[in-house]
Amino acid sequence: MSLFAQAKTDTLVVSSKNEAIALAIKNNPTQAVYKQQILQAQYNYKASKGFLYPSASASFAGTDNLHLAITPIPGELIGKPGTTFDAQFGKKYSYNTGITFGYSLFNWQSVLQADISKNNVLLNEIQQDAYVQSLKEQVAKYYFSTLIAKASLKTILTDEVLADSLVALARQRLNVGTTDALQVNQAVINYNSVIQNKAQSQQLYDQGVENLKILIGRQAGEELTIAENLSLDSLRNDASINLNADRSLDVYQQQEKIAVLQSKAQGSVAYPQFSATGYLGDQQFRDDFGLGFNNGAWSGYRYIGINLSVPIFTGFTNSNKYKSAVVAQHIAQVQYDNAKQQSEINDRLLLKNNRDYLNMVLASENSFKLYHDNLILNQQKYTEGVSNIDTYLKAFQDYLTAENTYLNNLSQLLSIKATILSRQ
């Protein structure tokens, strides 16, 4: 790989598909998103483990008792038997300050939620691996399509010369009266077909390069050049095929595992919760507004407690939520089983298509070369006056058809090769 400046524009020269894939894995913008998502999931996992540690909070509260509650008391307490006296207890102003401690002794739901968060970290990592597989396939497909377009443009240069010479020769024969306008028109049509193929190949090349720039993470104003030329030598040998497991299946498997944990977590809401609390603080009561800080102004207030909470009835809400979570677990299992079965079938078909299209490419390549040889022979025979222009025009049309067939088969084969490459 080389990077150089040309006319104030950076140009990246890529020499191989492996180099293009390595650049994409390193610089692809979506890769940065996955890294942030993994980091976010890791923080969520750390947060979910907070129940393992005690909690503490400081507080200060002031109360203005606008009207103290009245408590009837027997008159015997104040020397008036047989009567009732309305008394008010407390002070108009009260202040409390202190620290509250809490610790969860048993909370199975929090344990399972932490386990779910841990598996969400793994899910994000697996999703990134699956995306890398998809990214490799996309890069390889655009890289191969660019190579095909590049080879096609090179071939079309020769086609254009042949088509142009045919038009010139047909017009020359028309001027001397040895052919008619129909043959001239057909020669021009053939020439236009070559120009159209040239534009299509150029479009394919431009699309491949620009899409590679997106996947590799290049800026819009930067240029990308593919230095490699298409070679069929590496495609003739199937012995090196090594189709590894489809990483996208790992995503389904991990989602199923999380669905199992979620159903367990929903079921655990019916379990009892056991926790301990404590408070260390002071109180101050006053008849007038204000705060005092002298000795004896504050009195201590301390307590510790144990809480046991057992859900008894929640209006069937938790029951229905648990049933819904169990259904979601079954859905995840079915999706994983279906995806695994489809993947196995697709892999078998992929290898068969690779074999079949390789044979088609080799056969169409051989035919393309033979049609080219026939075209040259017919050109020579027509120039020497041995054959008529109809035969030459037919040979040129057959040649263009064979060329398109060969390139189409090659495009299909390399698309399959890109998928195989992503699994290696």
pLDDT of 220 higher than 90: no
Mean pLDDT (whole number) for 229-235: 72
Q: Tens digit of pLDDT for each residue in 294-320?
A: 888 899 999 999 999 988 887 788 889
The residue behind tokens 């025979």 is 381
Average pLDDT value for the chain: 90
| Burial track 262-301 (b if 16+ CB lie within 10 A, e otherwise) | bbbbbbbbeeebebeebbebeebbeeeeeeeeeeeebeee
Mean pLDDT (whole number) for 345-372: 94
The Cβ-side half-sphere exposure at 124, using a 13 Å CA radius, reads 21
Q: Which of 296, 311, 256 shows the shortest CA–CA distance to 107?
A: 311
pTM: 0.83
Q: Which of 123, 114, 145, 98 shows the shortest CA–CA distance to 47?
A: 114
Q: Which of 133, 112, 123, 136 shows the shortest CA–CA distance to 38?
A: 123
Here the tokens at position 297 are: 């102004």
pLDDT of 6 higher than 50: no
Compute the C-alpha angle 33/25/239, nearest 5°. 140
Would you place residue 98 in the very low, low, confident or very high pLDDT band (cuts 50, 70, 90)?
Answer: very high
Mean pLDDT (whole number) for 198-222: 93
